[in-house]
Structure 1
Amino acid sequence: MTAAHPVPIPAILLAGSRPGPDPLLTGSGVSTKALLPIAGQPMLVHVVAALRASPLVGPITILAQASAELAAEPGLAGFADLHFADSGQGISASLAAALPEGDAPVLVTTADNVLLTPAMIAAFLTGAEDSDVAVAMVERRVLLARYPESKRTWLKFRGGWWSGANLFRLRGRRVLPLLDFWSRIERDRKKGLKIVAAFGPWLLIGALLRLFTIQQGVARAGRRFGLKAKVVPMAEGEACIDADKPADIELIERILAARR
């Protein structure tokens, strides 16, 4: 008797623009970051190609303020089962509106996650099983062993310093209370201690004194919302290198060239 194939998970791809001017777009000739060319094609196309190449991923919904502009991108023409939706104010509110009914899981990533691969998706989804909320992260030693020049935002916990990898698995609408909470603090997403403090003084004290690991801290934060939350450590440092700065893009293009 053969094992059943897993049901492909729907994906939500966040491709909107944050408020204010984006220095990456200066002189680029494009109006939104998702369409910024990297290694000859828009970053959005790289991410969609990785998602579509994974047999574990089903329909893909692309969220952006002006989704029609992204839908017209010629580089996306060959991909099946793409859907486009206009996002609202803020990532959390937009994501909440796009979640399917019920509590079936959904995979979430971003348009600047250019180095995403089917292997990363498989590793993450395997590690994320049996959770309500799962977050992919990379430990600093994993990244710096191969890319010491890469600058990331790090969360310090007992046993390591961690950076997010722009991959999330959410169990449908049961995570809405968490998304509502996140909408009030997402402007501080790059300020590690502010994020930790928002979940309560005990979590902040524990992080400052290194009383627990990041896995234990995320599990505690999830329990505040009645959710089973977990960190999925990623073995590939590339998983946390997203296209935020010109130096990131230079590094991403070198990595893509080496892959080819």
Structure 2
Amino acid sequence: MTASPDQSRPVQVLVLAGARAAGDPLCDAEGVASKAVIDIVGQPMLSRVLRALGASRADAPAWVLGLEGAALEAAADGIPCQPLASQGRGPASSLIRALEGPISTPLLVTTCDHALLTPAMVDSFLAKSIASDADMTVGFAERSVIEAEYPETKRTYLRLGGAELSGCNLFYLASPAALKVIRFWQSAEQDRKKPWRIAWRFGPLTALRILLMRSGHEAAFALLSRQLGVRVAPVLLPFAEAAIDVDKPGDLVLVREILTARDA
């Protein structure tokens, strides 16, 4: 069930940049049509993500899903990238369509609102993902790591195996088998902020084991892998900023403060 990835193969990159079907209050507040063009200390948000990816070990240029034409040109700010039209009703279905088209594995997936992304984060995530030999990996940061640096930030935490983890919007699809996970996520996408509902989809007994077990997050993912029939592994990152995306006005304020201090 393991992927046994070829480490010499180039890793393609896909950046999710589609708009929410129900609208985005953050875009409304900033007066823009797409989150990707929001100004982050003098640079469009997507361009910061593309710069980090371009300086990493990932294969450039990246594919950008959900933006085309003038909108993509403005968001990319002159950085080469490849447009890909959204063809689904959400990120999961659009990703499935992309993998049925020009995109192939191994594939790194991230989002346009990952404004604090750095090449070190990308390289650390890819190295650990490939070493895991899993079909798919998901990036996380522990609550203790995040709150040690930014106690004021409000994140959504997933409690697994006794650990409190926050997603880092970094995903590695090592093999086509990862599509099983994406198809499951497509069915559970509306519950992404309610982990107990996602766990309940495996049945009440499995859900209770996932939610109550205290044997570590890796054991929890091993159980999930058996249920899905594909090996999924967590990758813990030591970077607090990896878990801070721009999802709310408060996130935008914090990200601008961090980058202003970093640039200074």
**Same fold by TM-score, threshold 0.5 exceeded?**
yes
SS in 2 for 1:13: strand
Instruction: Identify the match of residue 251 of structure 2 among 245, 248, 251.
Output: 248
Q: What is the aligned partner in structure 1 of residue 4 from structure 2? A: none
Aligned-residue offset at 1:256: 0.8
Q: What is the aligned partner in structure 2 of residue 118 from structure 1? A: 119
Instruction: Tell me, in whole angstroms, the C-alpha distance in 1 between the residues paired with 2:46 and 2:114.
Output: 8
Q: Return structure 1 stretches of 4+ with deviation > 4 angstroms.
A: 100-103
Query: Cα distance 1:143–1:84, how it changes in 2: closer, same or farther (>3 A)?
Result: same
Instruction: Tell me, in whole angstroms, the C-alpha distance in 2 between the residues paired with 1:127 and 1:200.
Output: 31
Structure 2 unmatched runs, 5+: 1-6
Aligned-residue offset at 1:26: 2.2
Aligned-residue offset at 1:236: 0.8
Instruction: Identify the match of residue 18 of structure 2 among 16, 32, 38.
Output: 16
Q: Residue by residue, what CA displacement relative to the aligned partner does 1:10-59 show, whole Å, maximum 9, x if unpaired?
A: 10100001121211122423111111112122211111111011133333
Instruction: Tell me, in whole angstroms, the C-alpha distance in 2 between the residues paired with 1:75 and 1:10.
Output: 18
Q: What is the aligned partner in structure 1 of residue 211 from structure 2? A: 208
Contact 1:41–1:75 under 8 Å retained in 2:
no
Counterpart residue type for residue 96 of structure 1 = I
Instruction: Tell me, in whole angstroms, the C-alpha distance in 2 between the residues paired with 1:115 and 1:226.
Output: 34
Q: What is the aligned partner in structure 2 of residue 186 from structure 1? A: 189
How many residue pairs are counted as aligned between the two chains?
A: 254
Contact 2:136–2:172 under 8 Å retained in 1:
yes
Q: What is the aligned partner in structure 2 of residue 104 from structure 1? A: 105
Contact 1:206–1:212 under 8 Å retained in 2:
no
Structure 1 unmatched runs, 5+: none
Query: Cα distance 1:240–1:85, how it changes in 2: closer, same or farther (>3 A)?
Result: same
TM-score normalised according to structure 2 size: 0.88
Query: Cα distance 1:60–1:140, how it changes in 2: closer, same or farther (>3 A)?
Result: same
Instruction: Identify the match of residue 172 of structure 2 among 169, 182, 192.
Output: 169
Q: Residue by residue, what CA displacement relative to the aligned partner does 1:117-165 show, whole Å, maximum 9, x if unpaired?
A: 1000111111111110100001100000010001011111334211100
Aligned-residue offset at 1:104: 3.2
The aligned runs of 1:126-141 (5 Å cut-off) are: 126-129=127-130, 130-141=133-144
Instruction: Tell me, in whole angstroms, the C-alpha distance in 1 between the residues paired with 2:89 and 2:68.
Output: 14
SS in 2 for 1:153: coil
Contact 2:125–2:237 under 8 Å retained in 1:
yes
Instruction: Tell me, in whole angstroms, the C-alpha distance in 1 between the residues paired with 2:237 and 2:89.
Output: 30
Counterpart residue type for residue 217 of structure 2 = I
Instruction: Tell me, in whole angstroms, the C-alpha distance in 2 between the residues paired with 1:55 and 1:232.
Output: 17
Counterpart residue type for residue 259 of structure 2 = L
Contact 1:44–1:111 under 8 Å retained in 2:
yes
Q: Does 1:95 align with 2:95?
A: yes
TM-score normalised according to structure 1 size: 0.90
Contact 1:223–1:229 under 8 Å retained in 2:
no
